[in-house]
Amino acid sequence: MLEPLEELRVNALKELGGINNSKELETWRVRYLGKKSGLTQILRGLASLPLEERKTAGARANEIKAELQMGLSASIEVVHRRAPVREEQIDITLPGRPLPIGHLHPITQTLDEIGDIFISMGFQVVEGPEVEWEYYNFEALNMPAEHPARDSQSTLWVDYETERAERPMLLRTQGTAITARVIESMAPPIRTIEPGRVYRREATDATHLSIYHNIDGLAVDKGITMVDLKGTLYEFARRYFGEERKVRFRCDYFPFVEPGVEMAIDCLVCNGAGCRLCGNSGWIEVLGAGMTHPEVLRRGGIDPEVYTSFAFGMGVERMPMLRYGIDDIRLFYGSDLRFLRQF
C-alpha cells in the first residue's frame, strides 16, 4: 500500500513544481487533494487493510496529504506574487454610480424623533380622529361653548347637522382632543404620546398654517407631580435641542391644566441675548403643559383624588424650523422637492 502512496507523492510534487498559474493550481488541487483524488481513494480504502498495515499506511497517507497541502499553499503564494498586475487606470474622481435616495418628510422625521424620545421614557404612541366631536375638542377639556379661550382657536366645522340642528362635528383644533379620548378610554397608569394633524380657520403666512401638526402627551398615575412634569419635559428639551440649551418653565394658562406651564428654551440664534427670532425676549416658547385639571380627569372617568396627571402639547413644525433655521412654515407643505430633499 505504501508504494502507490510514495509514487503519488513524487508525481504530485513534480507536477506542482511546474505550475505557474492559478488555474492549473486548481486542477492540481482537485486531482491530488479533491474528494475524488487518488489520495482520498487510498484513505477510503484503508478500512479494508489489516490493522498493522492500516496504521502505517494511514499515518503515511496523512503525512503526504499535509505535505501536499503545504506545497499547494506555498505555490499559491508564489503564483500570486508572480502574476502580473494589470496597470488599468481609472479616474477615481468620477462619481460613484448613483443609488436612488429617498427622504422622509422633515415633519415625519420630527414626529418620529420626538416620539422616540418619549417612547424611551415609557410613553406609547396613540392616535385619534382628525374629524372630531366638539365634545372631545372643547367641552371635555374645560372649554364649554362661549369660553373665551375658544377665541384663539378659530374652528373649521364640518357641514353636518344633527336632527336638532346642532353642528357638533369639527376638525380638531388641538392635539389635546386625543388626550381627552385617552383619558376616557384607557385606565391608569397611562403614559401616551399623541401625534397628529390639527386644523385652524386661519389665514396662512410665514409663521401660520391652517393645517399643521401637534404632539400631545399625557401621564396618569398615583404620585405624579409637577416636578416629574418638569423632569420629563426637561429631558425632552435636552435631548431634542441639545445639552447646552437653557430651559425655562413659567406659569401659563390652558383650561385643561392647573397649574399651567409654558416651557421655553433660550434662543438658538442669540443664546438669550435677544434677537428678531425670539422677539427680543431671549426665549422661545416650545410647549404648553400642566397638571391635568381634576375636572378633565373626572369627566373621563379617572378619580382625581386617587390619581394625579400631567399633560403637555406642542406645535411640531416649530421644532425643525428652530433646529434648521427655516424661516417660512409654508415650505413644509409646499412640497417643493428642492426643499424636502435637504432633510
Partner 1 sequence: MKVSVNWLKEYVDITLPRAEIAEKLTMAGLEAEVVEVIGERWDNIVVGQITAINPHPNADRLRLATVNLGTGEETVVCGAPNLTSGDKIAFARVGAQLIDGHSGQVATLKSARIRGVVSSGMVCSEKELGISDEHEGIMVLPDEAPLGAPLADYLGDAILNLEVTPNRPDCLSVIGIAREVAALTGQSLHLPEVATDLIGGEEVASLIEQQIAVAISAPDLCSRYCASLITGVKVAESPRWMQQRLLAGGMRPINNIVDVTNYVMLEYGQPLHAFDYDRIRGKRIIVRRATRGESLVSLDGVERVLSGDMLVIADGERPVAIAGVMGGANSEVTGETTSIVLESASFNPSSIHYTGRTLRLPSEACMRFERGIRAEMTLPALERATQLMAQLAGGEVARGVVDVYPGRVETEPILLSTAEVKRLLGVDFSLDRIVSALSSLGFDCQPAGSASAVLVTAPYWRSDIHLAVDLIEEVARIIGYDRLPTTMLSQPIPRQNPEPVIGLKREVRHRLAAYGFQEVITYSLTSLEILNKLSPESHPLEPVLLRLANPMTVEQEYLRPNLRANLLATLAANRRHEDGTITLFELGRIYRPRTHDLPDEREVVCGLLSGSGLEKSWQGRDESLDFFAAKGVVEGLLSQLGVAASFEPGLDEGLHSSKQAAIVIGGQRPGVVGELHPRVLANFEIVGAVYLFEIDLVALLPFTTAHKMFQPVPRFPAVVRDIALVIDAGIAHQQVLDIIKGFPLVEQVVIFDVYSGEQVPAGKKSLAYRITFQSPAHTLTDDEVNQVQEQILDELSRELGAVRRG
Instruction: Report the site for partner 1 in 139-158 (rule: CB under 8 A).
Output: 144-149, 151, 156-158
* Interface region with partner 1, contact rule CB under 8 A, candidates 16-24, 44-52, 68-76, 202-210: 202-210
Among 114, 140, 215, 224, binds partner 1 (CB under 8 A): 224
Considering beta carbons, is residue 65 or 181 the nearer one to partner 1?
A: 181
> Is residue 332 near partner 1 by the rule CB under 8 A?
yes
Question: Mapping DSSP to helix (H, G, I), strand (E, B) and coil, where does residue 28 land?
Answer: helix
43 vs 156, beta carbon nearer partner 1: 156
CB neighbours of 269 closer than 8 A, spacing ≥ 6? 275, 276, 277, 278, 325
Q: Which amino acid is at 155?
A: T
User: How many other β-carbons are positioned within 10 Å of the β-carbon of residue 128?
Assistant: 19
CB of residue 269 to partner 1, shortest distance in Å: 18
Least distance in angstroms from the C-beta of 31 to partner 1? 22
Nearest to 244 by CA among 271, 269, 274: 271
Contact flags string 276-315 toward partner 1, x per CB under 8 A = ---xxx---------x-xx-------------x-------
Q: Interface with partner 1 includes 336 (CB under 8 A)?
A: yes
Contacts of 94 (CB under 8 A, 6+ apart): none
- Report d(CA 173, CA 209) in Å as an integer: 12
Q: From the centroid of its chain, how far is CA 55?
A: 64
Q: Which is nearer to partner 1, 24 or 184 (CB)?
A: 184
Stretch that binds partner 1, among 13-21, 69-77, 173-181, 198-206 (CB under 8 A): 198-206
Among 85, 90, 92, 203, binds partner 1 (CB under 8 A): 203
Residue 99 is a binding residue for partner 1 (CB under 8 A): yes
Name which of 290, 295, 287 is nearest 322 in CA terms: 287
Tell which positions 178-197 bind partner 1, by CB under 8 A: 188-191, 197
Residue 329 has what DSSP assignment? G
Determine if the peptide bond prior to 294 is cis (ω within 30°): no
